[in-house]
């Protein structure tokens, strides 16, 4: 349930949405199902309310979300930015997340901040922030419900995509009874088919993805008594398998999902920008590890970029990861695990 604070914020948000006549809706870079689904659903709702609406996102829509109605109307650049309109910023904990739209939003008079990140920094004129919501799409759903706006099939589908992707298909810890009730309402509204949608969102990947996966998993190596798993991908592998950058998304999880592995690492050899390093873990705080290397992230998912010869970078990162594992698993002292 919404706390009183969130209920009050919802009322203030509704007042502003009704009062303003035109809106620029913006979501975050490295788009996901929640950012795109929330953008499309709220955009359509505001249009139905007779408002002038434009949608922006400083990225192209990933292939797997391109089936969503209206996704082709999202502008990746600021030429169509309506300087007179209010800005609605969705699923962003701060304005940095809007990427190239940061300055355009910052000079907007009325900023509506709708988000569910616990780290949200309340940058808006109005801030509807509910960290208990599993997705921004869940906040949008309640907002539309409170405004008595009927859901169209495309709105229901967009919100279902938002909910199911931010909860990892209703499997992550953020999934609550309320999330399932929202999902049930969305499914019931327009006979959405969850089987077809989860195939589209989670299961079906194009052949180049599997050709890439084969190459990347071929590099798998284990260290530290099989507590550290390391895989490597490169631009070359992408080209050879005909895969796109987005095909690498989530590939790192294969390392972390190996039984007994504490930390998983994926190196991406990106000739132009150095070496990208991703970390996943079961219990070790890899955000500390990533920060030490100039990056950042969450306790169980973090990353950094390092320049330098691959051999040296790899050795250094593996050494630090093994130390992090031994610190965590041997509270009695720091021993170097065997390699």
Q: Which residues would be at the binding site for Mn ion (CB under 5 A)?
A: 34, 91, 136, 166
C-beta of residue 309 within 8 angstroms of C-beta of residue 318: no
* Closest CB 187 distance from Mn ion, rounded Å: 20
* Closest CB 301 distance from Mn ion, rounded Å: 14
* Closest CB 34 distance from Mn ion, rounded Å: 3
* Closest CB 88 distance from Mn ion, rounded Å: 15
* Closest CB 188 distance from Mn ion, rounded Å: 23
Q: Between the CA of residue 27 and those of 11, 24, 105, what are the distances in Å?
A: 22, 10, 11
The per-residue b/e assignment along 287-313, b for 16 or more CB within 10 angstroms, e otherwise, is bebbeebebebeebbbbbebeeeeeeb
Strands (E), the chain: 22-27, 52-57, 74-75, 86-90, 111-115, 126-129, 221-223, 228-234, 263-270, 274-281, 296-297, 301-306
Q: Between the CA of residue 103 and those of 6, 36, 51, 62, 127, what are the distances in Å?
A: 28, 21, 23, 24, 19
Question: Cβ closer to Mn ion: 165 or 234?
Answer: 165
Question: Cβ closer to Mn ion: 167 or 232?
Answer: 167
Which is it for strands 86-90 and 228-234: parallel, antiparallel or unpaired?
A: unpaired
Question: Cβ closer to Mn ion: 136 or 232?
Answer: 136
* Closest CB 165 distance from Mn ion, rounded Å: 8
Question: Cβ closer to Mn ion: 130 or 247?
Answer: 130
* Closest CB 203 distance from Mn ion, rounded Å: 21
CA distance 258 to 278: 16
CA distance 297 to 256: 16
* Closest CB 133 distance from Mn ion, rounded Å: 9
Question: Cβ closer to Mn ion: 33 or 278?
Answer: 33
Angle at 291 between CA 289 and CA 296, to 5 degrees: 105
CA distance 215 to 247: 13
Question: Cβ closer to Mn ion: 136 or 255?
Answer: 136
* Closest CB 215 distance from Mn ion, rounded Å: 31
Residues 6+ apart with CB under 8 A from 123: 89, 94, 95, 111, 113
C-beta of residue 129 within 8 angstroms of C-beta of residue 113: yes
- Name the residue with the smallest CB distance to Mn ion: 34
CA distance 184 to 165: 15
CA distance 144 to 45: 8
Residues 6+ apart with CB under 8 A from 146: 10, 14
């Amino acid at each position: 349930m919404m706390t009183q604070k969130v209920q009050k914020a919802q009322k203030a948000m509704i007042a502003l949405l009704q009062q303003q006549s035109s809106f620029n809706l913006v979501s975050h870079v490295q788009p996901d199902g929640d950012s795109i689904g929330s953008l499309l659903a709220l955009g359509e709702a505001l249009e139905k309310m007779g408002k002038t609406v434009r949608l922006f996102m400083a990225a192209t829509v990933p292939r797997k979300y391109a089936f969503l109605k209206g996704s082709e109307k999202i502008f990746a650049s600021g030429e169509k930015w309506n300087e007179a309109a209010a800005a609605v910023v969705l699923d962003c904990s701060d304005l940095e997340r809007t990427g190239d739209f940061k300055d355009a939003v910052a000079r907007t008079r009325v900023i509506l901040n709708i988000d569910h990140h616990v780290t949200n920094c309340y940058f808006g004129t109005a801030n509807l922030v509910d960290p208990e919501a599993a997705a921004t799409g869940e906040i949008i759903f309640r907002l539309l419900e409170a405004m008595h706006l009927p859901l169209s099939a495309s709105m229901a589908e967009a919100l279902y995509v938002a909910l199911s992707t931010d909860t990892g298909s209703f499997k992550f810890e953020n999934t609550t009874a309320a999330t399932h009730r929202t999902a049930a309402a969305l499914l019931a509204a327009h006979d959405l088919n969850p089987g077809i949608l989860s195939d589209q969102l989670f299961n079906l990947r194009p052949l180049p993805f599997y050709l890439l996966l084969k190459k990347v998993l071929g590099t798998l190596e284990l260290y530290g008594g099989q507590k550290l798993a390391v895989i490597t991908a490169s631009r070359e592998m992408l080209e050879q398998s005909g895969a796109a950058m987005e095909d690498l998304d989530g590939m790192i999880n294969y390392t972390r999902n190996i039984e007994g592995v504490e930390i998983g690492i994926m190196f991406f050899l990106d000739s132009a920008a150095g070496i990208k390093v991703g970390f996943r873990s079961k219990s070790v705080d890899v955000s500390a590890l990533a920060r030490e290397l100039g990056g950042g992230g969450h306790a169980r998912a973090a990353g950094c970029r390092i320049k330098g010869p691959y051999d040296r970078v790899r050795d250094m990162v593996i050494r630090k990861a093994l130390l992090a594992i031994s610190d965590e698993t041997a509270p009695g002292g720091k021993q170097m695990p065997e390699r």
